[in-house]
Amino acid sequence: MRINCTTVAVLASILVLALILCLDHSIVRSSRSVRQIVEPSHTKERTDIFFLKTHKCASSTVQNILMRFGYRRHLDFVLPLSGNYIGHPKKFNRLKIAPKMRSPSRTYNIFTHHTRYDHTETKAVMKDGAAFVTILREPVALFESLYQFYNLGKTTNLTIVQLANVFLNQSSATNNFTAANLTRSADQRLGLNQMSFDLGFDDKTDVDEFIRNVDFEFDLVMMTEHMEASLILLRHLMNWPLENVVFLSLNTRQSARKANLSQIQKNVLLRLNSIDTRLYDYFLDKFKKRIRDFGEDRMKSEVENLLNANSQLWSRCVDKANNKGYAGTLGYDLRNIVDYNCFYSAKQELSFTDEIRNDQIRRFSVMAKLDKLMSKRGDKIEREIK
């Protein structure tokens, strides 16, 4: 039987195409199996999040991630008219948002600046379906950091070691009353049980009920000591790729500035911060359970990927570390200021906030003028009809 050249060419083309399709199908199946391990689902990435920024819990690092995410996408932030506090030490309410900072819809994508939590008021300003997230830290480490960083010794006239020793042999009732007065800062923002205070706890609140409410109202409670694992859980909650949670640590103190406390002194501080201790212990147990549900091997793999991504960010961006951050904390000399992630990963909170705020004021002003224009036009048309 004769087969001409055209027939041979057609048959060869069909065979090659079939081989390509089989190979492509195999690659797709393989990549999908890997992606199930290291990538969130293919549902649309979430853009809306309330992050309760607790004091001295490495929350500035998480905040920077959220600010980079939102600023790049021109999302709307809940912001104070100046500085970086909105609704603290009094609890947040929506009227604290200044007119110039109000979005046309009066709802927002991201809330990540210092506030004192009120669930009803916070939920009222967030977009529907926003994730609620916060972060906690081991209570003694937190209180030591808070006391040193904010110079609470100026209020007490005691070092933190002396403070622990003062309350070492006193009765529990005297401790709680005296320490509350000694360690609350002049502006009432800072003191004992700081995490609980930031989360809205007050003396009239039952501790168990308070913890239950936090558990019910927040989708994720991160842990400072396990930042990378926390960020893996965050990225899956938000359906984000790994690149969205790479970071350079911010607002970190030098080791030389940390107080050396004995275990007995630490126990005293745990007792003085008993509400934070109960809060932390509860959510640490829940955090471990969440990792077990996620898969321990899967978590280790993703944490390794994040560590590698952070190393690449450092190599690409950082010339050397310095102590030029806020109040002498960790900062960076950059070798690359053109790259968005390089420049903004190292940007300090106050200057980054100013930049976002100025951009947002301009955007909201333009939209407000347009609304006003169209409202006047509508009035004119209505008058003409009459």
- Say whether pLDDT at 80 is over 80: yes
Neighbours of 191 (CB within 10 A): 23
CB atoms within 10 A of CB 76: 23
pLDDT score recorded for residue 168: 86
Q: DSSP states of 225-273 as a string?
A: GGHHHHHHHHHHHHT--GGGG-----SPPPGGGS----HHHHHHHHHHT
- Residue 167 sits at φ, ψ, to 5 deg, of -95, 5
> What average pLDDT does range 123-140 have in this prediction?
98
Provide, rounded to the nearest whole percent, the portion of the chain with pLDDT above 70: 80
pLDDT value at residue 178? 58
Determine the pLDDT at residue 143.
Answer: 96
Q: Does residue 175 carry a pLDDT above 70? A: no
Report the alpha-carbon angle 349-358-356, nearest 5. 40
Q: Supply the pTM of this predicted model.
A: 0.83
Mean residue pLDDT of the chain comes to: 86
Cβ-count burial of 50 within 10 angstroms (0-12 exposed, 13-18 middle, 19+ buried)?
buried
Rounded to 5°, the CA angle 216-219-225 comes to: 110
Alpha carbon distance 199, 301 (integer Å): 32
Lowest mean pLDDT among 27-31, 88-92, 124-128: 27-31
> 89: cis peptide before it, omega within 30°?
yes
Residue 315 corresponds to which tokens in the numbers above? 């190599």
Q: Once rounded to an integer, what is the mean pLDDT over residues 82-92?
A: 95
pLDDT at site 256 = 58
User: DSSP strand E in the chain: where?
Assistant: 49-52, 110-111, 131-136, 220-223, 318-322, 331-334
Helix (H, G, I), strand (E, B) or coil at 165: helix
Cα gap 187→143, rounded to integer Å: 17
What does each C-alpha distance from 137 to 153, 284, 346, 357, 379 come to in angstroms?
21, 9, 23, 29, 56
Structure tokens at 264: 């007995």
What is the C-alpha separation between 355 and 365, in angstroms, rounded? 16
Q: Which residue has the tokens 């007490």?
A: 156
Q: Are 79 and 170 in contact (CB under 8 A)?
A: no
**Secondary structure of the chain: what % helix, strand, coil (to 5)?**
60, 10, 30
Pair 144, 112: CB distance under 8 Å: no
Backbone angles phi, psi at 313, to 5 degrees: -60, -45
Lookup: tokens for 343: 């420049």
Lowest mean pLDDT of 38-42, 204-208, 368-372, name the range. 38-42
Instruction: Report d(CA 379, CA 373) in Å as an integer.
Output: 10
pLDDT computed for residue 323 by the predictor: 83
The confidence score (pLDDT) of residue 35 equals 24
| Alpha-carbon span 386 to 379, nearest angstrom | 11
Which one, of 90, 96, 220, 199, lies nearest residue 108 by Cα? 96
pLDDT tens across 344-370, in order? 999 999 999 999 999 999 999 999 899
Beta carbons within 10 angstroms of residue 161's beta carbon: 14
Residue with token string 């000694």? 182
pLDDT tens figures, 236-294: 999 999 999 999 988 776 665 789 999 999 999 999 999 999 999 999 999 999 999 99
Cα 49 to Cα 111, 124, 340: the distances in Å are 7, 13, 22
Token pair for residue 294? 């996620």
pLDDT of 32 reads 30
Q: What is the pLDDT of residue 280?
A: 98
Domains and CATH numbers, the chain: 47-369 (3.40.50)
| pLDDT value for 343 | 96
pLDDT for 36 equals 35
